[in-house]
Each structure stands twice: as C-alpha cells, then as structure tokens.
Amino acid sequence: MKLFIDTANIDEIKEASRLGLIDGVTTNPTLIAREGREFMPLVKEICQLVDGPISLEAVSSLSNDMLKEARDLAHIHPNAVVKLPLTRDGLIATKQLATEGIKVNMTLVFSPTQALLAAKAGAAYVSPFVGRLDDISHWGMDLVEQIITIYDNYDFETEIIVASVRNPLHVLEAAMIGADIATIPFAVIEQLIKHPLSDIGVERFLKDWEKVEKKNKR
C-alpha cells in the first residue's frame, strides 16, 4: 500500500520524508490556506521534496474553467496531479483531461456510484473521504470496500486513495481491505510509528546493555 502525506506544511513533509516511506502528497485549499503562503512557491517547494504524485486542487466550478486551471496546475511539475471535485463539471473536465494525459484525482467522493463515474471518466485516482462519513454516522470504510469491489469487477485502473483519514484504525482498515493508497495527516503518521511496548522494550534493552558494558570495563 502506498502512503501519501495529507498536508501542505513543508516541515511536516520534510520530517515524514526522512522516513523514506512517503510515496506522494495530497493538498487541498484548506491545507494550503493554513500555511499562509503564496500558492505557487509553496507547491513548487512541495514538488521538490517528494518524488511521487502531488495532488493540487483546482478551485473553479465550471468545466471550461476547470480545464484551464487543470492544465496550468499540470504544468507546474511532471508529478502534479490535478484534484477535481466529483461534480457534473468535474466529471466532464476529468474525461477531457484523461484524453490529454493529465492525471486527475477525483475528490470529495462519498458514494460508490460516484466512484464508478470517476473511473469511467478516466480519473487516475479517486478519493473517498472516510473521516467525513464517520462524522455523520456512516461507516466511511464501507464505502472503500464497495469501491474496491466495483473496480475489481471491471478491472478499472483508477487507484483508490483513502482520504480524510483521522486515526491509525483508518490506515489499518485501508490496508486490511486492500486500498491502493492512504493519504495520512502528519499527526497520524506519528501515531502509526509509536507503540508503548516498543518504547518500554528499547528502554529495557538499553538498561541491560549498560550492565554488559560495565562488566566489559572490569
């Protein structure tokens, strides 16, 4: 399973990249706004930090405007992926961009039939938002399971990015059901690494090793 980081924060991307396990980055207008920086220099810097797909979201509502914006975003870097919302105009634009070889990540996906349309439009990625569904008492991960079944039934090549990840259990479930990718906030990546028994174990081994070193000095 590929792991993307869901942030536009340079320090978080740098820190997570040091692990050597980050395969891509997803951003959205909220994450960009949080950084309080100009868009272009920020995303160019992000593209230099991670050698993998970098999702950059278009903010137009009409398909013609989306197309123009998407082509501009795609020119920023060879790894740029254009994020478009799963709307009527988003689907129209995705279909056209796919014919031009521009990769689209269809975002804000909340139903399996939306995901079916995204795949038929030729989206390279589809992003079901599991956390936002959980927030309204729907099992977000059920949606991912349904999309996997549909895509397997018809051999769609669209990759499933489990998005709106809120905790390590979302990542666990994504891996258990075979999602292609999880895009994970920095704080959750940190949670994935930690286990109290690992910390206790390291501490105990180091204490015991001190005894060996003391004996060796005698």
Tokens representing 172? 């666990």
User: How far, rounded to the nearest angstrom, does the alpha carbon of residue 170 sit from its chain's CA centroid?
Assistant: 12
Q: Which of 2, 44, 83, 214 is catalytic?
A: 83
What 8-state DSSP symbol labels residue 98?
Answer: H
Query: Which 160-179 positions form the footprint of ligand E4P (CB under 6 A)?
Result: 163-164
User: Judged by CB under 6 A, which stretch of 43-51, 63-71, 127-135, 206-214 contacts ligand E4P?
Assistant: 127-135
Query: What is the smallest separation between the CB atom of 7 and ligand E4P, expressed in angstroms?
Result: 9
Residue 158 binds to ligand E4P (criterion: CB under 6 A) = no
* Residue number with CB closer to ligand E4P (129 or 156): 129
User: Judged by CB under 6 A, which stretch of 66-74, 116-124, 129-137, 146-154 contacts ligand E4P?
Assistant: 129-137
Among 107, 128, 158, 160, binds ligand E4P (CB under 6 A): 107
Q: How many positions of this chain bind ligand E4P (CB under 6 A)?
A: 11
* Residue number with CB closer to ligand E4P (121 or 165): 165
**Residue/partner pairs of 83-87 with CB below 8 Å, 24 or more apart:** 83/26, 83/27, 83/28, 83/55, 83/56, 83/57, 83/58, 83/107, 83/127, 84/57, 84/58, 86/110, 86/114, 86/117, 86/118, 87/61
Residue 127 binds to ligand E4P (criterion: CB under 6 A) = yes
Among 132, 146, 150, 190, binds ligand E4P (CB under 6 A): 132
User: Judged by CB under 6 A, which stretch of 42-50, 59-67, 124-132, 196-204 contacts ligand E4P?
Assistant: 124-132
Q: Could you tell me the CA-to-CA distances from 124 to 70, 142, 176 in Å, in that order?
A: 14, 21, 22
Q: Could you tell me the CA-to-CA distances from 24 to 13, 29, 128 in Å, in that order?
A: 10, 17, 17
d(CA 49, CA 199): 30
What 8-state DSSP symbol labels residue 178?
Answer: T
Q: Is 83 a catalytic residue?
A: yes
Residue 6 binds to ligand E4P (criterion: CB under 6 A) = yes
* Residue number with CB closer to ligand E4P (24 or 122): 24
3-state class of 160 per DSSP? Answer: strand
- Positions touching ligand E4P (CB under 6 A) are 6, 26, 28, 107, 127, 129, 131-132, 163-164, 183
Supply the residues annotated as catalytic. 83
